[in-house]
Structure 1
């Protein structure tokens, strides 16, 4: 039944993509972020939905007469440079055969990110895009939150298998990044039930993140809370809410959860934490040996750890977006990735500064603020996870760049230009223009 439902949704929506390419982007986000086919049990699990949606979306993009140029802002240029450099590091990879599989996956993500940037250009597109991200990840937040309540917090929340967010740490970070986006949608809600539904989804997603037993998620929550408190106009209210929420969490969750979180302070005695540090040293030593290109994709092999790790037999994945970039793509790759993040942040800051006092652009102000909160969560939580190629942060960059383009266009509209546009609209609608003083005297 689930397989048939997914097929009906996808193939029932595809005809709309030819007329409205942004529908293809929304469908792509749903399939690539939520991965609904992983919740099925039959043929849909392995059916190539993503390839079909991507092909139709690209075809529809080039069939339309709309401009197809990339918005060449700072983050766009940095992402292009980072993508090109990943190709260079792959050419010098330690394990070319293994690297190509990961390279193929990553290049598909980057390609569709650039396609999305060509298509998402209007306010409506941006808001639907954010809404689809929230729907795709919020599904697991609501599901995981209910699971945490029913289990009393004794069982661990996991994400959908064989995806970027399949692990407990990964789904926790994804949900933490989604909560600020849910709050953004709250600012757009026009009905009370929408506001309450999003509030419930935020609460359940927070419970799901806590129920994942992820220590990185807890650190990310703390960092996001501090940032929101510092930036909010209602600092005292936010601080009181945080102070009330944290004791409630500790009261609800069982003792084994508290013991797990306590290991943050005693990481030297935790094998998992020490394994991550060993992997970080491996990445640093490898990059020091090959500073330009690093080792390419798929370097987490016994032979590499024997050569570069302080503890050669303790083989782990990177467990950090920063050391993952460093080990796989060298200091150049890490520098480009950090530049991409900084320029994306500055794009959000520009939007916030330029729209702060514009009621007509309040939606852009709120969106940029909440995306920055999500970025804080990813920057902190990602320091402990191998999520360098997780597509959602790149999609948030797309939303910020598209928002900046829309804001720039609206800010450039002078009062005279607005009046001329209004005048033209009146004439098109057959509405007579008001008479001038001279015309009134002649009349």
Structure 2
């Protein structure tokens, strides 16, 4: 009896390593916790590994949903499972696996990546020059470093057509879950701030302004589904349901920034549908008045009609913005450092402690300015501008193919939804401190993925222009050479050649 060839047993080194590691891990539970029930999770591990290796983007997308919408906080029953941690580790693992070993993930680098990397790198440099480096470094390792990795992961993994359709669908569904809890809390008086403003208590969405910002992003995708023809009746219905729930939820928060973001999001779609700008402005102004009345802004304890002159909420923002500007003025290069605005507030505030308390910046722009300096503020603004131009270019190419067989309504829907979501962020973010949190960076990574998909599947306008220019030059050359020759052969048209 011949023994199997030793080389044949180890012909696939990746399988050998995987099996060896798994066998070693299988022995650990019985050593740490000597009970048969400890072996049950091992039956699920192989299936989980197969899934995350076969569908790496799905794992990354789940991480996005839980990080952006805080689903594990909104639904506390999910918190013990530690889904954000597991999906984050899974995303890092599959990204390294498919880049280094299988090489199935094609790593690419675009101009948008460079612009983001410049701002990200400047924030990292600012840690060393911050007012208290340990706090800045702790904030970087806990949140911002993950953001930097996931921007690359999302843009590199989001490459297939079904990736965009699934992301569009899950973003709306996750938003509907948060919106449903918001409306439930509002109906039952749970988590009310100032007696009239709804929140989701015990979560990162305990501030009504933050809650309205989170809801405005899926709202833009819902409007995109409802207004884009060709996405299907079910998706159109989902979009209409989403519009009702998201607008109702934002109204329940009584957030002025959220209401402005709602008008801005609908205004983007209005620009694509209504040709008359004067009519659009009139409709937008009238809609804003209706939303303000429906939200009952005048009934708010802070910022309501009961307060005369500049209300306490607005004055708190003004004080915070003054402190932020002073921080940037005295530290123009790198600011005071990541997450160190509040720690330095009273060193730069222009008012006394008796006139008010310390506030967060209540503005993404002033937050970035104070914590990364004027240089970081400029880099951040240029990053926003670059993403605007990138997604606008993708939309232009998609609209150019409208009516042709190459036209893809699903890509148009997610592109215009991302564009409107960025506009909504810029509006509502002007009243919220979201410069170093997930929203804008998820929008950035999706925009980069859309631009890369467009370059791979649709011809760039510049390439078409160059081709047309070359065709004209060749045609002129042929005409010049054939001038004066009555029987000169004219160049055949491309249609005849075919």
**1:76 and 2:113 are equivalent in the alignment:** yes
Displacement after TM superposition at 1:95 (Å) = 1.6
Q: Which has the higher contact order (CA 8 A, sep 6+)?
A: 1
Displacement after TM superposition at 1:192 (Å) = 3.5
Q: Which residue does 2:152 correspond to in 1?
A: 114
Cα 1:321–1:69 shift into 2, 3 Å: farther
Gaps of 5+ in 1: 1-6, 416-443
Out of 211, 216, 219, the position equivalent to 1:171 is 211
Displacement after TM superposition at 1:196 (Å) = 2.6
Q: Which residue does 2:389 correspond to in 1?
A: 346
Q: Which residue does 1:123 correspond to in 2?
A: 161
The alignment's TM-score, normalised by the length of structure 1, stands at 0.80
Cα 1:60–1:306 shift into 2, 3 Å: closer
Out of 359, 362, 368, the position equivalent to 1:319 is 362
Give distance in 2, aligned partners of 1:56 and 1:351.
Answer: 30
**1:368 and 2:409 are equivalent in the alignment:** no
- Please say if residues 299 and 305 of structure 2, whose CA atoms lie closer than 8 Å, have aligned partners that are also in contact: no
- Please say if residues 145 and 205 of structure 1, whose CA atoms lie closer than 8 Å, have aligned partners that are also in contact: no
Give distance in 2, aligned partners of 1:108 and 1:240.
Answer: 43
Cα 1:284–1:232 shift into 2, 3 Å: same
Deviations along 1:102-144, one digit per CA (max 9) or x if unpaired, are 1111111221221122211122112212322222222112332
Give distance in 1, aligned partners of 2:433 and 2:236.
Answer: 34
The alignment's TM-score, normalised by the length of structure 2, stands at 0.72
Displacement after TM superposition at 1:93 (Å) = 1.3
Displacement after TM superposition at 1:96 (Å) = 2.0
Q: Which residue does 1:87 correspond to in 2?
A: 124
- Please say if residues 369 and 377 of structure 2, whose CA atoms lie closer than 8 Å, have aligned partners that are also in contact: yes
Out of 366, 375, 381, the position equivalent to 1:332 is 375
Displacement after TM superposition at 1:260 (Å) = 6.0
Deviations along 1:319-345, one digit per CA (max 9) or x if unpaired, are 111111111111111111111100000
The 3-state SS of whatever aligns with 2:333 is coil
Give distance in 2, aligned partners of 1:241 and 1:203.
Answer: 18
Cα 1:226–1:126 shift into 2, 3 Å: closer
- Please say if residues 286 and 327 of structure 1, whose CA atoms lie closer than 8 Å, have aligned partners that are also in contact: yes
Displacement after TM superposition at 1:47 (Å) = 5.0
Give distance in 2, aligned partners of 1:391 and 1:362.
Answer: 28
Give distance in 1, aligned partners of 2:366 and 2:285.
Answer: 33
Gaps of 5+ in 2: 1-40, 465-498
Cα 1:39–1:150 shift into 2, 3 Å: closer
**1:185 and 2:221 are equivalent in the alignment:** no
Out of 67, 79, 88, the position equivalent to 1:32 is 67
Give distance in 2, aligned partners of 1:85 and 1:19.
Answer: 36
Out of 452, 471, 483, the position equivalent to 1:405 is 452
Cα 1:275–1:106 shift into 2, 3 Å: same
**1:201 and 2:242 are equivalent in the alignment:** yes
- Please say if residues 221 and 413 of structure 2, whose CA atoms lie closer than 8 Å, have aligned partners that are also in contact: no
Give distance in 1, aligned partners of 2:198 and 2:230.
Answer: 29
- Please say if residues 70 and 114 of structure 1, whose CA atoms lie closer than 8 Å, have aligned partners that are also in contact: no
- Please say if residues 141 and 208 of structure 1, whose CA atoms lie closer than 8 Å, have aligned partners that are also in contact: yes
Q: Where do 1:37-436 residues align within 5 Å?
A: 37-41=72-76, 44-45=78-79, 48-64=82-98, 65-104=102-141, 105-145=143-183, 147-148=185-186, 155-159=196-200, 161-163=202-204, 165-186=205-226, 187=228, 192-233=233-274, 249=291, 252-254=294-296, 256-257=298-299, 269-301=310-342, 304-313=344-353, 314-359=357-402, 360-363=406-409, 364-412=411-459
Give the total of aligned pairs: 403
Give distance in 1, aligned partners of 2:358 and 2:373.
Answer: 20
Give distance in 1, aligned partners of 2:286 and 2:374.
Answer: 43
Deviations along 1:263-319, one digit per CA (max 9) or x if unpaired, are 69x8952222212211111111111111111110232346x2332111143311111
Give distance in 2, aligned partners of 1:249 and 1:267.
Answer: 22
Cα 1:39–1:147 shift into 2, 3 Å: closer
Give distance in 2, aligned partners of 1:255 and 1:353.
Answer: 38
Give distance in 1, aligned partners of 2:66 and 2:184.
Answer: 23
- Please say if residues 225 and 231 of structure 2, whose CA atoms lie closer than 8 Å, have aligned partners that are also in contact: no
